[in-house]
Amino acid sequence: MQLSLEKIKKLCAEKGCTVQQLLLDSAVSKNALYSLARKNTIFPRSVHAIAKILNVPASALLTGDSPADTMNGIIRRVAAITGKHKKADPDTIRHTLILLQEEPLDRLRRSLLRGGKFNILR
């Protein structure tokens, strides 16, 4: 999920405040806000602080799939694959689909650490 600047601007307009005033009231820096908007992951403290000032749930500020939606999509894909390939292990398929959502470098780094190897990617 990602923080939606458009939703924040719209909610600010509805509340009669500016984004700058929102950031001051929520003690979130402008850099933090724009950094959150560029990333696919968010820092909950900042998002909750902004949501509290706007008097909306944190989910109202986000765009993209919720974790539940993502997992439901994976479950559907696992069912489709196991339907075509009866001998395939559903747990292995699910695990693979989850891992494929991560950045390749993160997957490699974690597998090297899990395997007890030196982390050469730092």
List domains and CATH numbers for the chain: 2-63 (1.10.260.40), 67-114 (no CATH)
Contact 113, 119 (CB under 8 A): yes
Q: At what angle do helices 44-54 and 19-26 cross, to 10 degrees?
A: 120
Output the CA angle 34-13-66, nearest 5 degrees: 55
**Amino acid letter, 101:** Q
- According to DSSP, the residues that pair with 63 across neighbouring strands are 2
Reported as a single tens digit per residue, the pLDDT across 67-110 is 677 788 889 999 999 999 999 998 899 888 888 888 888 888 87
pTM of the model: 0.42
Q: Are 81 and 75 in contact (CB under 8 A)?
A: no
Provide the pLDDT for residue 81: 94
